[in-house]
């Protein structure tokens, strides 16, 4: 029997195809992961107790947690790979709070988790182009940089997106008082 030194490396091919010479994504610091898990729990609780309208506002106003990556620090491919590795963490919290969650709360929880990490996540709410069952008319999924995370990538073919709800991601830090952005001192 061989020793398992890094079990994630054996499952790397399931998580993404990084391509030749691609750098692995950075590890998430434990305190940042804890803050993101808390944000996920708050989103799931809000959805359960207050409904989609309140949970949507929570996602739209979401800001990255202290210590999160800034949007320009990670290359989009690295951001997508990092996001794929974090799906398990957000969905495990959701399973505890909402064991029978459908696509909308799953997508909300994942987007809120990724927003806390500083990744530009969006929840896409869509309507099926054709449907035989009334239950399958609407669907939701989470995207980062246009890549579907918690569903099959081909889901975008059979649905028309009605709404994209993203978190508030500051593009640049605010300028110092008394200075205008883009001007030399």
In the chain, the percentage of residues whose pLDDT exceeds 90 is 53
**pLDDT reported for residue 22:** 64
Average pLDDT over residues 135-150: 90
Mean pLDDT, range 141-159, rounded to an integer:
90
Q: Is the whole-model pTM more than 0.85?
A: no
Q: Judge whether residue 83 has pLDDT over 70.
A: yes
Place of tokens 């505890």: 96
Confidence at residue 75, expressed as pLDDT on a 0 to 100 scale = 87
pLDDT of residue 156: 87
Tokens of 7: 């079990």
* In the chain, where the domains are located: 28-166
Cα 122–Cα 87–Cα 78 angle in degrees, nearest 5: 70
Q: Does the pLDDT of residue 184 top 50, yes or no?
A: no
Q: Among the listed ranges 33-47, 104-118, 143-157, which one has the minimum average pLDDT value?
A: 143-157
pLDDT tens digits for range 161-176: 999 999 866 554 444 4
Tens digit of each residue's pLDDT (9 = 90 or more) over 34-82: 999 999 999 999 999 999 999 999 999 999 999 898 877 888 888 888 9
What are the residues whose beta carbons fall under 8 Å from the beta carbon of 97, sequence distance 6 or more?
41, 44, 45, 48
């Amino acid at each position: 029997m061989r020793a398992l030194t890094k079990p994630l490396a054996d499952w790397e091919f399931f998580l993404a195809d990084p391509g030749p010479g691609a750098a692995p994504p950075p590890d998430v610091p434990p305190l940042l992961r804890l803050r993101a898990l808390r944000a996920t729990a708050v989103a799931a609780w809000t959805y359960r107790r207050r409904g989609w309208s309140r949970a949507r506002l929570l996602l739209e106003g979401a800001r990255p947690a202290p210590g999160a990556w800034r949007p320009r620090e990670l290359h989009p491919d690295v951001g997508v790979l990092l996001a794929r590795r974090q799906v398990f963490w957000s969905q495990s919290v959701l399973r505890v709070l909402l064991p029978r969650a459908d696509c909308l709360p799953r997508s909300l929880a994942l987007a809120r988790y990724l927003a806390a990490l500083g990744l530009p996540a969006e929840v896409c709410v869509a309507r099926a182009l054709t449907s035989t069952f009334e239950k399958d008319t609407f669907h939701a999924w989470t995207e980062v940089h246009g890549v579907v995370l918690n569903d099959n990538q081909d889901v975008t073919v059979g649905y028309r997106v009605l709404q994209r709800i993203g978190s508030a991601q500051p593009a640049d830090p605010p300028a110092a008082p008394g200075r205008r952005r883009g001007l030399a001192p």
